[in-house]
Structure 1
């Protein structure tokens, strides 16, 4: 188990960041108080980030500053605080999802075809998680380097902070360094929380998709037999074989029920986060695009929003792709059940029970497992295109408004 985890880059990255914000499963129970303190500190940093950005928005609005820039920062920090708050509220369920995935998705014996499915899931997770993490780290570095590039050619009294705190005393040593260090630490925690919960969601949803694919394959091969039945013992062997097939079928049904329960828990934990991201990301993508294409900003600030725009679109695609996979492959379990060679089973007691229960399995699989935005609508790749089209519409309206304002 440990060896498998070491070779999985998606798990390594996710566990590293979640440990550093106090939300990971640790075998050493002595570290639980430490993890709780780190989690409290993470929540405190998120609250501080919202207060600083909200205060910045208020004074920027009051003094006719760059309101769209501060609004972009405020919305980004608010969505992060929402994620942290919801995960903390569902901490026990969140941890149980990770533990169940470790024990029942990875630490299980698979045949060659099932291992290929699992390896494919790991490759997809590795691609998404590493890409989103790299973009997120680049955005953090770009944000923190903005004050240094902005003060090139300025004197010491004109030094600025990553976030304007609207303080009346001059930015001189050691106050400037202390405030800068405070903002660095706060922003690092906020930046990590921006993508780490989406990363682990992607891992859990894609591995759930893989389990549905494995279950479909098992149903498909359920009635395959290697028994050579002679005419002499044909009836007894068919009866015995039908009993064994039905017993195997019941194990697969229990596996199906366990996957449905896992999906329901995942839906319960993340449904509000998904709703928040669906509602806010269209505005964020619009504002990020404005800062990149239309705003009169420095090259350093523009670079920050290029990474934020790429990160927002990547995060959006990652979790809509994950949700779409759960919908598709939970539905395909019905195809695997129907495609099994149940027609060769004898019409005895177990053969009839098998046929009737396969019908029930098909009916249940047709009620697909879909992750929703708080029950309002299912999230799929279609949601991704809808959000992007909405963001483009917002961007067009914002651009027209700016052009009219500039003319007047």
Structure 2
């Protein structure tokens, strides 16, 4: 299993970025101190970036600059800061979710069909995490390259930063410019990592949770299988064994339901914030990337951000939709068990009654919600995109009328 983990790109990427910001499982006291140091450094950089962008908003409003550009940057920075603050509030629960997944989802003996379900989850996570991470890195590189390209051929006093600083000091002269430029790049890196790394690990958690519900459905389906032994004596002999196995599966079902509730506790506010903000962000990214009168390098930033935000939104809604679908289908697996072949002795009757309870409980599907207001599914994805398109149309029409 350790070899498979090392070959899993999604786990490697998520582990790398979470270690970068200091939110991973420490194996010894030295690593624990290092994680604390990185966490402090990440928090400081996120707060520094927030202060810079808030000052930029204030002076942009004061001097009537490009408000939409600054607001777009502000929402992006604030989302990253809010995510890390929420995760820090639930730090122990967050790390325990990862530990539980390692111990109970991966380090388990599976048969061939169950292994195929796990491999399918792995491929899904690799696709989503690789796409979101690659687009995020491209957006970061675009942020860095844009001022470098625009500074070519300019005097020192005309040079620009990643984000406007608005301080009455000779910061545009060397070496102060280079020092502050590097500080902004570092801060931007940590804000960007906080923006997508928690969603990457969330994708892994929910996709594997949905996979566990699929495995449980398969186990219920195979519960009473006896191959070719169908005599009454054989069925009576095995009825007690099947009932003992059923109790084990019911406990597994309860653990998965509790795991979903724990995941909901950690991520519900993050999901709520993203659902509220993503429609506005996608609208602003689309405007800045497609319609704004800006250099191509700057527009490239927002094209990457637009693609990345849509991919990230699809990633977490797809995972949540999978949990809803496969937790509901556990009922089909319980009904498909060959309970009709069981004798009507004590174990057979108890098995039937407990299967009915499993079916009834499975009809109350597990789901991740936006702070309890509504469940997240692929329908949420289409709703947010529809709202973003409406905002985009209104913004374009308003700006066109203002120009006229």
TM range (shorter): over 0.9
Whether the aligned pair in 1 keeps the contact of 2:290 and 2:303 (CA below 8 Å) is no
Equivalent residue, structure 2, for 1:282: 279
CA distance in 2, matches of 1:388, 1:229: 55
TM alignment of 1:5-404, pairs within 5 A:
5-170=5-170, 171-226=172-227, 228=229, 234-235=232-233, 237-404=234-401
Residue 173 of structure 2 aligns to a residue in which SS? coil
CA distance in 2, matches of 1:74, 1:229: 68
CA distance in 2, matches of 1:68, 1:15: 35
Unaligned ranges ≥5, structure 2: none
CA distance in 2, matches of 1:126, 1:228: 43
Residue 168 of structure 1 aligns to a residue in which SS? coil
Q: CA 1:229–1:332 in structure 2 vs 1: closer, same or farther (change >3 Å)?
A: closer
Q: CA 1:229–1:399 in structure 2 vs 1: closer, same or farther (change >3 Å)?
A: closer
CA distance in 2, matches of 1:72, 1:193: 17
CA distance in 2, matches of 1:226, 1:151: 75
CA distance in 1, matches of 2:13, 2:393: 37
Shift of 1:227: 6.3
CA distance in 2, matches of 1:253, 1:83: 34
User: 1:286-318 CA distances to partner (integer Å, 9 max, x unpaired)?
Assistant: 000010121110010000001000010000000
CA distance in 1, matches of 2:235, 2:302: 67
Shift of 1:7: 1.0
Whether the aligned pair in 1 keeps the contact of 2:210 and 2:326 (CA below 8 Å) is yes
Q: What is the number of residues matched between the two proteins?
A: 403
Shift of 1:228: 3.2
CA distance in 2, matches of 1:229, 1:41: 66
Whether the aligned pair in 1 keeps the contact of 2:221 and 2:334 (CA below 8 Å) is yes
TM (norm. structure 1) is 0.97
CA distance in 2, matches of 1:182, 1:199: 26
CA RMSD in angstroms, aligned pairs only: 1.0
User: 1:38-75 CA distances to partner (integer Å, 9 max, x unpaired)?
Assistant: 11111111111111111101110110000000000001
CA distance in 1, matches of 2:28, 2:356: 46
Shift of 1:27: 2.4
Residue 395 of structure 1 aligns to a residue in which SS? helix
Shift of 1:240: 2.4
CA distance in 2, matches of 1:138, 1:90: 30
Whether the aligned pair in 1 keeps the contact of 2:84 and 2:194 (CA below 8 Å) is yes
CA distance in 2, matches of 1:387, 1:295: 22
Shift of 1:37: 1.4
User: 1:244-269 CA distances to partner (integer Å, 9 max, x unpaired)?
Assistant: 00000001001001101110010000
CA distance in 2, matches of 1:175, 1:153: 19
- Point out 4+ residue stretches in structure 1 off by more than 4 angstroms: none
Shift of 1:169: 2.2
TM (norm. structure 2) is 0.98
Unaligned ranges ≥5, structure 1: none
CA distance in 2, matches of 1:258, 1:29: 31
CA distance in 1, matches of 2:393, 2:382: 17
CA distance in 1, matches of 2:324, 2:258: 15
